[in-house]
Structure 1
Amino acid sequence: MSRCKVNSKQPMENHRNSEQRRSLLRLLSKFKIFKSKKFFYALSLAVAFLIGTFNLTLAATTTAKHYTELQFAPLPEIKLPKYDRFVLQNGMVVYLGEDHELPSLNGAALVRTGNRLEPADKVGLANVVGTVMRTGGTKKHSPDELNEMLGQRAASVETSIGDTTGSASFEALSEDAEMVLGLFAEVLREPVFAQEKLDLAKAQLKDNIARRNDEPDSIADREFLKLIYGKDSPYARTAEYATVNRITREDLLNFYQQYFHPNNIILGIVGDFDTSKMRSLIQAKLGDWQPNHNITKSQLPEVSPANTGGVFFANQPQLTQSSVRMGHLGGQRDSPDYGALSVLSGVLNVRLFNELRSRQRLTYDVEASWSPEYDYPGVFVADGKTRSETTVQFIKALQTEIKRIQEQRITPAELALAKESTLNSFVFDFQYPAQTLSRLMTYEYYGYPADFLFRYQKAVAATTAADVQRVAQQYIKPNNLVTLVVGNETAIQPPLTQLATQVTPIDITIPGS
């Protein structure tokens, strides 16, 4: 979903330019080049000058063309990189992919857990576990020792827990593989959850609670999910001071011991290494970790729509514009219509941009998407910002475009553009081996077939205008749209009662504040 869900980059999907920058910094730091600030400043100016000179020269020698005259090379074919998949005797699934372009490697472990599995009276527990696993040190190394050892080698080890997964990751130069993988294994296997780091993590989480109403978009995202899933749903509930205060070190240990076992983990490593040597190294660091044969598959929370329509409002008197969310419960990625729904999103986005931004000039920020999740229903959402005085007009325009895509078959030009943009964005998610390997790990984690990415690509390419109209009529429910506005009540004229006779106020007061 557009901005309503924090989720979801795949592990190890780092853009190559940031990868190269980090690797360069590491290499330079080993030679202590950056000890001179003057040198760094001079180098930065030189690089900026060269880039600027190149751009000016290019601009002077290139005749601008109309966009219809531009020609682009065909999209590159998505190819699976060469990789090895094997399972350790303790049940850990391992993916290895050699990539010798840079003298570095990065890895990620997916752990079958998530904050959707934490107790309802201790919301925030999984987040704290994911933080203190790393910050709290290990049985062999204190937090400061870990930081120093990794910092000296420009390496990193990080952990976190999100809605549906736990993750641990590392980055290192190839020559430091054994040392960094050893520390990574320590963090996974032997975290101590130091009390002082637990206290710090809880304090930081409370600080986030205190500031959660600072940004209207954050309010809209949070409250919209509550309206869709229900305020007590694991997919929408939020940490409060009371739930955080209940979290103890024993809770962290129990949560960790319930889920962090080798037979509950998928590990992937990509980079500059020899596969046979890396297999031996993984065996040495993780092979003797004892499995838990009593792990049972967690029962996922049930999902049903909390509301099937209505207009809701959160008053923020200081605002001069309104943040709007409109949508309803959606579906999962394994839907046979996922490809056609992606194309539908592309068409609707272009229409919203052309109509609400370019023609009616109601906004500079509007979009819509059918945003499925892997193993539970996602959402259909249209959202954006508009001036307080155009709020009602903006919402009516959204409603009009949603109904229009159901009633009128899209044009061949709209279909071609939406398919091309969808395939473009998809292809660029697989530019590098780490991205593709990460996606394969994710598919295995959620029980999807390894060729799902090819199935999706073919489904998008095969989508017709009739398909788009069919899925629009089948999956989008205009009469069930939940509309949320975060804005200035007195400045919204005409009032929201022009949209519905009843406008339900949303109380965003922070309990205990």
Structure 2
Amino acid sequence: MKKTTIMMTGLILFALIFSLAPLASGQKHYKELQYGKLNDVTIPQPKQVTLKNGIRLFLLEDHELPFIKMQARFVAGSAWEPADKAGLAGITGMVMRTGGSQTMAGDQVDEKLEKIAASVETGIGTLDGSAGLSTLKEHFDKVLAIYNDILRNPAFPSEKIELAKIEYKSAISRRNDDVGGIAQREYTQLIYGADSPYARDEEYATIDAITREDLIAFHKKYVQPKGMVLAVWGDFKTAEMLGKLRKTFESWRGAAGPLPKAPPVEYAFRNTVNLVPRSDVNQSNIYLGHIGGLMNTPDEAALVMMNEILSGGFASRLMNRLRATEGLAYHVSGAYGANALYPGIFYMMLQTQSGRTVEAIHSMVREMRLMATEPISEAELNIARESWLNAYVFNFDSKDEVVRRMASYAFTGLPLDYLQKLRAQIEQVTVADVQRAAQKYLRPDQVQILVVGNPAEFGEPLSKIGPVNEIDITIPVPGAEAVPEASAEAKDQGHAAIQQMLSAMGGADKLAAVQTIEYTAKLIQTTPMGEMSLDAKTTIAFPDKSCSVLVMPQGQIKMILNGDKALLVAPQGSMPAPEPIKQNMIENLFRDPLMLARQVDEVQAQWVGETLYQDKPVREVIVSKGALNYHLFIDKATSLPLAIKYTTISQQGPTEVEERYEDYRDVNGIKVAWRTLGFDKGSKASESAIVSVVMDGPVDPTMFEK
């Protein structure tokens, strides 16, 4: 019975295989497949109404779920803030919400909205501000009242402004942590200019310059109904919703005068080679290109197809040739950017190993040139077109997207059917159109090149491409003292005071002879949640290595400095130390008295004079070397260091730090302060009590490598 079953199964399979053979032999390769025209997309049409004060409404019913959402866009942005108060627009948009209104504090707003699972959010970008609302249908009237009050009558309490400033300063302090972020930021500044409102950075000084009065004035001038577009969608009846919106907003009157215009962009095509040196990376981030274009132009469809073919996705030339064939790239991308109100940026971007940096740049420029000099193939155009058209439908997969997009087009002055018209144009683009657009808009001989990488590891010098402009990305620190050149007399007095101090500590030669030192200590750190006690160990191998280990509740944190490289090792893994942490490690080593003994003839010691510090007579000396400096206060009675004072970068931005030294004890004939008190802007921030000190003991050199 079993044999028969097996035999019959075999016969059936045999017959099935042969019956399918003709089909298999007639199959086409996937590249030969032809696709029919895509079905038209049915797009819901919102009701459009303009209120008497100029607010343009878009209302779209959607009864699938009992939610109502609303988003306003208004003509306000960082493009119109004073350059010396960069950050004003963003902080205004943030504190409009966090600070609440004149009738309800921000924390009360949070509490009321959380109880009903609703949200109200505000923000201000480069050329537009926004205010959004989301709520269950049953709570709409209550949430609309809160939304209107915040939009029109924000309180701007000082404490919320200060919190927003801290958040901005924290972002400034971290802006050089990510290499990719550096590359994108600096390339944008190359194209628009570092002082352009489309590219400029907020700095500590510009944030400090912002006042509450500035926020009030900015809100009054720019947050107004004139030019505002308001989209509403969800579970409502249009006539009823229109009545509520009229009642809420139609009485709002705005500022007199015309609306501001987007600042113009002035760009001169040129060839430049620019480098941001980073010795802590083993790959290069490369950007190259020039200015892009505007949306809704006669050539836009051809440029969209050009972009798809050159750098737009997995089927692009950059992906296939530079990444797959030549093996140059870990990551590659690009875009011919176009904006509605000002020109976008054309860029090609690639990450490659350091040794192939120059080779990669040549390949990128080659592909850009070929795009303009050699016609694309019909196959390339068809793949690019199908890719774009297949993604087109997802622009309309929800009523939410439809109404927000139409409102956005209305706000920026684009036709409401802009995307549909672009689709029709893309369906008609030819090979000749793409080549003509490439020849007209691409300038392969006038590209700006930016590399963020380690020039010591480049296989060929970057200068082979052209003269190299090295970009300094140091974050300016306000209040950081620029030490003037000391007079000969001030230098002599300063060095004499330091020599006397080193002698009191055990002798300059003895201190300078120490090769390694290990401190074990108990550290008490002041935090917003209270004091936190930590075990700490710091090992220094002079002149340029240190390893600090902190035992914290969440695990052990290790900070390693090895020459010009710094690592942060946490329970989650190892990573290059963020720039502020690396800089703090370098500065801490520079301020160590044993390091001072080693380089006493290399530093500038500037005598300030005799004064009082904490009611004690002291000699004050400014110690500096290059950009590093600190004030040293030497106890006149003992000639030992009593304190130092310096400016550094914390997570909240620049801060003035004081370290006060107490309880000196003898270790191998050298005086060591057993207790250190740390103060941040006059408030106690930390306390360190030494448990043990080991000088020139055994040190595992691998601790500085992992």
TM range (shorter): 0.7 to 0.9
Partners of 1:325 and 1:107 lie apart in 2 by 38
Partners of 1:436 and 1:238 lie apart in 2 by 34
State the one-letter code of the partner of 2:97.
R
Deviation, 1:331, is 1.1
State the one-letter code of the partner of 2:105.
S
State the one-letter code of the partner of 1:362.
L
Partners of 1:381 and 1:430 lie apart in 2 by 28
Query: Which of these residues, 371, 375, 393, is aligned with residue 341 of structure 2?
Result: 375
Please show how residues 339-378 of structure 1 align to structure 2 within 5 Å. Answer: 339-349=301-311, 350-378=316-344
Partners of 1:386 and 1:194 lie apart in 2 by 48
CA contact (8 A) 2:227 2:259 kept: no
Q: 1:243 to 1:290 in 2, by over 3 A?
A: same
State the one-letter code of the partner of 1:89.
K
Query: Which of these residues, 455, 462, 465, is aligned with residue 499 of structure 1?
Result: 465
Structure 2 residue matching 1:95: 3-state secondary structure: strand
Partners of 1:481 and 1:319 lie apart in 2 by 25
State the one-letter code of the partner of 1:506.
I
Please show how residues 414-429 of structure 1 align to structure 2 within 5 Å. Answer: 414-429=380-395
- The count of aligned residue pairs is 447
CA contact (8 A) 1:230 1:306 kept: no
Partners of 2:324 and 2:261 lie apart in 1 by 47
Q: Which residue of structure 2 aligns with residue 152 of structure 1?
A: 115
CA contact (8 A) 2:75 2:228 kept: yes
Q: 1:67 to 1:149 in 2, by over 3 A?
A: farther
Deviation, 1:197, is 0.5
Structure 2 residue matching 1:420: 3-state secondary structure: helix
Query: Which of these residues, 83, 90, 94, is aligned with residue 46 of structure 2?
Result: 83
Aligned-residue RMSD, C-alpha: 1.8
Structure 2 residue 159 is matched with structure 1 residue 196: yes
Partners of 1:487 and 1:114 lie apart in 2 by 33
Partners of 1:73 and 1:106 lie apart in 2 by 37
Q: Which residue of structure 1 aligns with residue 409 of structure 2?
A: 443
Identity across the alignment (%): 40
Query: Which of these residues, 435, 441, 447, is aligned with residue 469 of structure 1?
Result: 435
Partners of 2:253 and 2:318 lie apart in 1 by 54
Deviation, 1:306, is 5.8
Q: Which residue of structure 2 aligns with residue 251 of structure 1?
A: 214
1:58-110: CA deviations, max 9, x gaps?
A: xxxxxxx9966999896453333131111122221111001112221211101
Structure 2 residue 474 is matched with structure 1 residue 509: yes
CA contact (8 A) 1:86 1:94 kept: yes
Q: Which residue of structure 1 aligns with residue 133 of structure 2?
A: 170
Structure 2 residue 233 is matched with structure 1 residue 270: yes
State the one-letter code of the partner of 1:111.
F
Q: Which residue of structure 1 aligns with residue 295 of structure 2?
A: 333
Q: Which residue of structure 2 aligns with residue 487 of structure 1?
A: 453
Partners of 1:403 and 1:227 lie apart in 2 by 21
**Larger Rg computed on CA atoms:** 2
CA contact (8 A) 2:275 2:452 kept: yes
Structure 1 residue matching 2:210: 3-state secondary structure: coil
State the one-letter code of the partner of 1:183.
I
Structure showing the higher strand proportion among its residues: 2
Q: Which residue of structure 1 aligns with residue 252 of structure 2?
A: 289
Structure 2 residue matching 1:253: 3-state secondary structure: helix
The alignment's TM-score, normalised by the length of structure 2, stands at 0.61
1:232-254: CA deviations, max 9, x gaps?
A: 11111110011111000000010
Q: Which residue of structure 2 aligns with residue 384 of structure 1?
A: 350
Query: Which of these residues, 62, 70, 74, is aligned with residue 99 of structure 1?
Result: 62
1:244-296: CA deviations, max 9, x gaps?
A: 1100000001000001112231100111111111112212322222343x131
Partners of 2:36 and 2:245 lie apart in 1 by 41
Deviation, 1:479, is 1.3
Structure 2 residue matching 1:448: 3-state secondary structure: coil
Point out 4+ residue stretches in structure 1 off by more than 4 angstroms.
65-76
Partners of 1:380 and 1:175 lie apart in 2 by 47
Partners of 1:258 and 1:76 lie apart in 2 by 47
Unaligned runs of 5+ in 1: 1-64
Structure 2 residue matching 1:91: 3-state secondary structure: coil
Deviation, 1:126, is 0.4
Structure 1 residue matching 2:304: 3-state secondary structure: helix
Q: 1:195 to 1:71 in 2, by over 3 A?
A: farther
Query: Which of these residues, 376, 393, 396, is aligned with residue 410 of structure 1?
Result: 376
Partners of 2:36 and 2:216 lie apart in 1 by 54
CA contact (8 A) 2:175 2:182 kept: yes
CA contact (8 A) 2:227 2:411 kept: no
The alignment's TM-score, normalised by the length of structure 1, stands at 0.84
State the one-letter code of the partner of 2:331.
D
Q: Which residue of structure 1 aligns with residue 620 of structure 2?
A: none
State the one-letter code of the partner of 1:377.
P
CA contact (8 A) 2:70 2:233 kept: yes
Structure 2 residue 458 is matched with structure 1 residue 458: no
Larger RCO, structures 1/2 (Cα 8 Å, 6+ apart): 1
Structure 2 residue 263 is matched with structure 1 residue 301: yes
Partners of 2:57 and 2:215 lie apart in 1 by 26
Q: Which residue of structure 1 aligns with residue 186 of structure 2?
A: 223
Deviation, 1:354, is 0.3
Deviation, 1:308, is 1.6
Partners of 1:72 and 1:202 lie apart in 2 by 55
CA contact (8 A) 1:382 1:398 kept: yes
1:461-485: CA deviations, max 9, x gaps?
A: 1110000000000000111110000
Partners of 2:267 and 2:238 lie apart in 1 by 48
Structure 2 residue matching 1:289: 3-state secondary structure: coil
Deviation, 1:324, is 0.8
Q: 1:200 to 1:390 in 2, by over 3 A?
A: same
